[in-house]
Amino acid sequence: MPRVRRRAVITGLGLLTPLGQDPESFWNALRAGTSATRRISYPDASPLPCQLSAEVGPFKPKDLIQHPDPTKAKTFQKQVNNLMARTVVMGLCAGQLAFRQAKLSLTEGIIPERFGVEFGAGMIASELDDLGRAARMSVDPETKRPELKHWGTVGIKEIPPLWMLKYLPNMPSCHVSITLDARGPSNTHTLSDAASLMALGEAYRIIERGACDLFVVGGTESKMNPLSLARHNLFQMLSKRHHEPEKAHRPFDRDRDGSVLGEAAAALILEELDRAKARQATIYAELVGFASGVDRTRDGKVMANVIRKALHEAQIEPSQVDHVNAQGLATPFSDRWEAKAIHEVFGDKTPVWCLKGNLGTSGAAAGAVELLGSTLALHHNEVPPTINCEHPDPECRIAVHNQGIKPLQKPYVVKLSFTDMGQTAVAVLKKWE
C-alpha cells in the first residue's frame, strides 16, 4: 500500500525584525509600506562606501528568553550576555517567541524525542574585543606585522576559552533545543539566503515521513558587526543612496544600485496537522509543497524547474497562486536572473511581492522572515505592496505588486530563495480554511 503523507501546518510565529518584534507590529509596518533602512548607528560607518542598514534596534533578551528550570535562570542569563553572539541571541529569542505564541507548554503534550529544531544561519563574525588583544600580542616588534610564531606562543592564549562556542553557526539551534528540551532531530543549514527555507524543507520532510511531530524552524543573522560590514562592502553590491535611505533597497526597480544590509531573526512552529487539531491550535497556513535544486548556470532554467517541482508536489497549477514572494536582492544581475525564472513559470500576470525594500537583506534569516510575511498575508486575506519599485525594470518581465493593499484572491503563495551560487529553495503555502 502507498505510504500516507502526513500534513504539516504553521501554528506559531516568532520574530525580531527592523520592522517590529512581534507579528502584529511587523504586519502593520508592512501594510503601511514602512522602510526600516537608516544610516548605520553602530559602528562608525563613515569609512565605508555603503553607510546604510536595517537594524533591529534595542531589545532585552531577559524579557524574551526563559529557562525552563527557574534555579538555573540567573546562570543562564549570564550565558546569554557573555557566551552568545548577537546572531545567536536573536535566534534563541525568535525560537522561544514562536513556541509561546503557539501556546505550547513543556509540561503538557510534548514528547521531547519527537520535537525537533531546524535553523538557518551563516558565518557569525567575531566581536573585535574577543580578538583584539590576541592580534596585538601577535605583532612582531621588529617587522610590525603579525607573525604566526607569536600567535602560536603568545597570541592564542589571549583568546577566550569558549570563543568558538560563541560564534558557531549551529549555536542558535543548539540553544533552542536545550531551553525547549527538544530532543528530536536538530540541524543547521548554512546556505546564505536560502538557509532558513532549506531548514523548513528538511523539517517538512521529517514530519511528512512520521519521524517527528513538531519543529521550531527558523533563521537568524546579524550583519551589524565591523567585520561583517567591511567584508560585505568589499565583496557585495551595496546601495550608495545615502541621500534617501528609506528608498535605498529597490527590488526589480530600473534605478536599483544594490542591497542594504540588515539583521533579523524569525522562527515558526511547524506541526503535524492532527496534533495541531487535537490541541485546537491556531493554524496560520499549511505547507503543501517544497523543492530545492542548484541553478549552476544562473540562467533561471533550473530555478524555474524547482518552482515547478514545488507546485507539482502541492498538486496545483501556476494559475492558482495568489503571489510569488521573491528574493529581490536589488542588484542588476540577481533580479533579472530571478525574474527570468518567475516569468518562465508564471508569465507576467501573477503578482510578485518582495519585502527587502522594507527589511534590507538579512542573509540566512531572510527566507524565514519573508515567509512569515506571506503567512500573515494568507491569515489576513491581503497583501501589502512592494516598496521602492517605482519604475519596474523592463528586463524583469514580472508583475511586481507595488501599488496599495491587494486583496488575497487565491489560496496559494510561493516563496522563493536562492544563493549567489544558485542553490534554490521553494516553498508553497496554502491558506487555512
Q: For 132-158, how does the pLDDT look when each residue is reduced to its tens digit (9 = 90+)? A: 899 999 999 999 998 999 999 999 999
Q: What percent of the chain has pLDDT over 70?
A: 99
Whether 1 shows a pLDDT value over 80: the answer reads no
The two beta strands, 321-325 and 38-39, are unpaired
Is 94 in contact with 20 (CB distance < 8 Å)? Answer: no
C-alpha grid cell, residue 125: 563574525
Distance of CA 67 to the CA centre of its chain: 24
Query: What are 28-68's pLDDT values in tens digits?
Result: 999 999 999 999 988 788 899 999 999 998 899 988 988 88
pLDDT at 42: 80
Whether 2 shows a pLDDT value over 60: the answer reads no
Surface-to-core class of residue 222, CB atoms within 10 Å of its CB (0-12 exposed, 13-18 middle, 19+ buried): buried
Cα–Cα distance measured from residue 108 to residue 116, given in angstroms and rounded to the nearest whole number? 16
User: How far is CA 376 from each of CA 24, 196, 380, 412, rounded to the nearest angstrom?
Assistant: 9, 18, 6, 13
Residue listed under C-alpha cell 502541492:
314
Q: What are phi and psi of 126, to 5 degrees?
A: -75, 145
pLDDT interval class at 78 (50, 70, 90): confident
Sequence-distant (≥ 6) Cβ neighbours of residue 15 within 8 angstroms: 21, 22, 23, 26, 94, 97, 264, 265, 266, 267, 369, 372
Query: What are 339-379's pLDDT values in tens digits?
Result: 999 999 999 999 999 999 999 999 999 999 999 999 999 99
CB-CB neighbours of 182 under 10 Å: 25
The CATH fold of domain 8-124+168-431: Peroxisomal Thiolase; Chain A, domain 1 (3.40.47)
Taking residues 73-93, what's their average pLDDT? Answer: 92
Domain positions in the chain: 8-124+168-431, 128-158
Closest CA to 342 of 392, 416, 290: 416
pLDDT at 148: 92
pLDDT at 264: 98
Distance of CA 283 to the CA centre of its chain: 21
Averaged confidence pLDDT in the chain: 95
Cα–Cα distance measured from residue 346 to residue 318, given in angstroms and rounded to the nearest whole number? 6
Query: What are 283-293's pLDDT values in tens digits?
Result: 999 999 999 99
Whether 3 shows a pLDDT value over 70: the answer reads no
pLDDT interval class at 79 (50, 70, 90): confident
Cα–Cα distance measured from residue 329 to residue 223, given in angstroms and rounded to the nearest whole number? 15
pTM of the model: 0.95
pLDDT interval class at 82 (50, 70, 90): confident
Residue listed under C-alpha cell 539566503:
193
CB-CB neighbours of 246 under 10 Å: 18
CB-CB neighbours of 235 under 10 Å: 9
Taking residues 393-409, what's their average pLDDT? Answer: 98
Taking residues 319-325, what's their average pLDDT? Answer: 98
What is the rounded (10 degree) CA torsion for 389, 87, 272, 11? Answer: -60
Query: What are 92-110's pLDDT values in tens digits?
Result: 999 999 999 999 999 889 9
pLDDT at 380: 98
Taking residues 63-76, what's their average pLDDT? Answer: 85
Is 369 in contact with 266 (CB distance < 8 Å)? Answer: yes
